[in-house]
Structure 1
Amino acid sequence: MAKPKKSTATKNVPNHYCSLPEVQGRDLSHIADRYRLRLIAKLDRMWVNGTQLTYYFFKQPAQWRGGSEQEQAVRDAFAIWKNIGIGLIFREVDSPEEATIRIGFDHAEGSWSYVGRDCIDYASSPSERTTNFGWDLTTEYGKDTALHELGHVLGFPHEHQNPRAGIVWDEEKVYESLGGYPNYWSREQTHWNIIRKIPASTVDGSEWDKDSIMHYQFEAGLILNPPEYQNAPLIPSPGLSQTDIQTIQTLYPPLAPSIPTLFEYESQRITIGPGEQVDFVIKPTLSRKYTIQTFGRMDTVMVLFELRDGFEEYIDGDDDSGFDFNSKIKAHLHRGREYIVRTRLYFSSSQGSGSIMLY
């Protein structure tokens, strides 16, 4: 999905749309605390800040190959997101085995992407794509398509499915429109990508942003409410909206220039709020198997990286959110090497009630 310039919007021509893979969300029904549930659901697919997202462009099979111009359009989109000033790092690699994000350009499949950490949870094989681009990315519509799909990679759902948008669809007209040219979607695909409302807990009270890069544009006649779109198309402005920028900066703020050291057998208190993150560098004194563990009544996701040639390589991670035990990683660490452990807090029974230890 992308958004053309307003000067072309009045043509009211049906557009190609992004179709998300259908995945089964995590079962959080056992969580009775609604505030805890909301925090976990909102952050469930987000990366820990500072994660290096390596990406690869498939060259084989031939129908997955994009060519230099299409690949450059994706690089440009990564740069736009990065230049907002976020803490995530994007790096192109030469093999799918090294890549977290694996990109194809199969025009027969349209454009789609897994959302956030679904990229590693549901497409773990190096032979699988996590993202596909199904049309030309060098047009104005295509440039926003690239931004949109990478928005999914960063963890964002479709904005038009925000339950606070107040959109009431003329559902049969939506099914009819998306079932024809150029998408040819089944009713199930249309329901998943348009009619379905995402859980209110995942949007954390955010208001509808009709100009979000994550919003489809819609031709006239598909929307019953808000009434201004009954007889006029809904055309978001091109590019990232101000809300897009503010949201990504909140979730992935710039990294601190230096981080403290987590020493062996010294407990470090965690004094952060929901959605915030604490990072430590580890410099092992011995080459042996270590345990890194959080303590306290907290829901956290903890990820361990090794610093190699200036880049952080993923080692292991653990997400304890929604359960009454703590994040724990056991890994063999080597003397003379450096590691970074990053821990994002979903929920704590009281701020500052936890700690982290290396032993």
Structure 2
Amino acid sequence: MIRRLPYCSQPPRSMPVLPPEMPVARQHAIIVGRSKWVNGTPLRYAFMPQTRDHAQEEVVREAFDEWKDLGIGLDFWEVREPEEAQVRIGFLPGTSWSFVGRDILGIPLDEPTMNFGWDLRDDYGRGTARHEIGHTLGMPHEHQNPNAGIIWDEPAVLEFLSGPPNFWSPGDVFHNVLRKLDPAEVEGTRWDPDSIMEYEFPPGLVISPEEYREGIFPPGTISKIDAEQALFWYPTLDERPPRLAVFESRALSLTPGEQFDAELVPDETRTYRVGTFGSSDMVLVLFEDCDGELRQIAADDDSGDERNALVEVELRAGTRYVLRARMYHLWQPGTSAVMVW
């Protein structure tokens, strides 16, 4: 008997508009990196008060812990008020979904960025919680990876997903299953059929690869390759980054995806500029240390522009701040640097 499962229904994404003459390597670095958080970001999450479900909330907390236990550099903080959170979680029956990575920052503060539409208290539900958090970390659906080489029996897929429990339109099926991701959106060169970001599919939907004609059955857990990807983007951070002095220009030797971290403790209260230099695409984020919790106070992303990231912000004497700058791409030979002045 075919197991008919409800599937994550991914919200549409808007891709950055990049000049067509931009080199492919630079486009790829920007598109892949744009969804990823600056490593060390404390992601605060809250449950939407209108749809709270205390039993299922515990499953979500456990799923956050599983991702954190990989040793990644992101932190997850549960807060009470949704307007204090970047990740806002609902339990509205119907579909499960999450916006991808930093896309959630564009969602109004009174709206969820993630929803769970079915019971999470079984193995499939726990896998759903891991899957949606994977989206929040910046991961797309794995079965849409163009490196998978999947050839679908499209009429069979459309018929299967138009029925219960999903009742998807042809547009939904194309967006969530049949559409191949642009190669610029994909990390690595392998398809991972065991990924937590892979759907389970029954027999009769895949024409090739031949070994998957009898179905794709991921275990519903964070795979080895999932963990590798998470640790590539979010490696374990040193507890105390080096100190960056005012007016000190620090040269950066970063490869795409790498990050520079430093702390600032200004001697005087005034307005400062914090910026990058060089022919590079970077995202720069400044956090304030508030009793041991980092709170973002300024950010700039210069990717795709012929400029450098720059923020202007008032800093208080004796207060600790943390600067994080992630490299997308170095688009001309030379070096890049960061400075506070």
Q: Post-superposition shift, 1:69?
A: 1.4
Confirm or deny: 8 A CA contact 1:269 1:352 kept in the other structure: no
Q: 1:115 aligns with which of 61, 83, 100?
A: 100
Q: Percent identity among equivalent residues?
A: 43
Q: 2:211 aligns with which of 201, 210, 228?
A: 228
Confirm or deny: 8 A CA contact 1:305 1:339 kept in the other structure: yes
Confirm or deny: 8 A CA contact 2:47 2:88 kept in the other structure: yes
Q: 1:164 aligns with which of 139, 147, 157?
A: 147
1:106 corresponds in structure 2 to: 92
- 1:140 and 1:71 map into 2 onto residues whose CA distance is 15
TM-score (norm 2): 0.97
Q: Which stretches of structure 1, 4 residues or longer, exceed 6 Å deviation after superposition?
A: none
Q: 2:177 aligns with which of 194, 217, 225?
A: 194
Confirm or deny: 8 A CA contact 1:54 1:98 kept in the other structure: yes
- Letter of the aligned partner of 1:102 in structure 2? R
Q: 1:18 aligns with which of 8, 12, 17?
A: 8
Over the residues paired in the alignment, what is the CA RMSD in angstroms? Answer: 1.3
- 2:116 and 2:309 map into 1 onto residues whose CA distance is 36
2:31 corresponds in structure 1 to: 41
Confirm or deny: 8 A CA contact 2:279 2:334 kept in the other structure: no
Matched ranges for 1:265-284 at <5 A: 265-284=247-266
2:303 corresponds in structure 1 to: 321
Q: Post-superposition shift, 1:137?
A: 0.8
Confirm or deny: 8 A CA contact 1:164 1:208 kept in the other structure: yes
Q: 1:347 aligns with which of 299, 323, 329?
A: 329
1:93 aligns with 2:79: yes
Matched ranges for 1:52-201 at <5 A: 52-60=42-50, 64-66=51-53, 68-108=54-94, 110-121=95-106, 123=107, 125-201=108-184
Q: Post-superposition shift, 1:31?
A: 4.9
Confirm or deny: 8 A CA contact 2:26 2:329 kept in the other structure: yes
Q: 1:248 aligns with which of 230, 238, 242?
A: 230
The change in CA–CA distance for 1:351 and 1:79 in structure 2 (over 3 A counts) is farther
- 2:133 and 2:60 map into 1 onto residues whose CA distance is 8
Q: Post-superposition shift, 1:344?
A: 0.3
TM-score (norm 1): 0.92
Confirm or deny: 8 A CA contact 2:261 2:322 kept in the other structure: yes
- Letter of the aligned partner of 1:90 in structure 2? F
- Letter of the aligned partner of 1:12 in structure 2? I
Q: Post-superposition shift, 1:97?
A: 1.5
Q: Post-superposition shift, 1:35?
A: 1.3
1:8 corresponds in structure 2 to: none
Q: Post-superposition shift, 1:297?
A: 0.6
Looking at both structures, which has the greater relative contact order when contacts are Cα pairs under 8 Å and sequence separation is at least 6? 1
What residue ranges of structure 1 are gaps of 5+ in the alignment?
1-10
Deviations, residues 175-206 of structure 1 (Å, cap 9, x unaligned): 11111100111111111110111111222442
Confirm or deny: 8 A CA contact 1:73 1:146 kept in the other structure: yes
Total equivalences in the alignment: 341
Confirm or deny: 8 A CA contact 2:5 2:165 kept in the other structure: yes
Confirm or deny: 8 A CA contact 1:270 1:352 kept in the other structure: no
Stretch deviating more after TM superposition (344-353 or 172-181)? 344-353
What residue ranges of structure 2 are gaps of 5+ in the alignment?
none
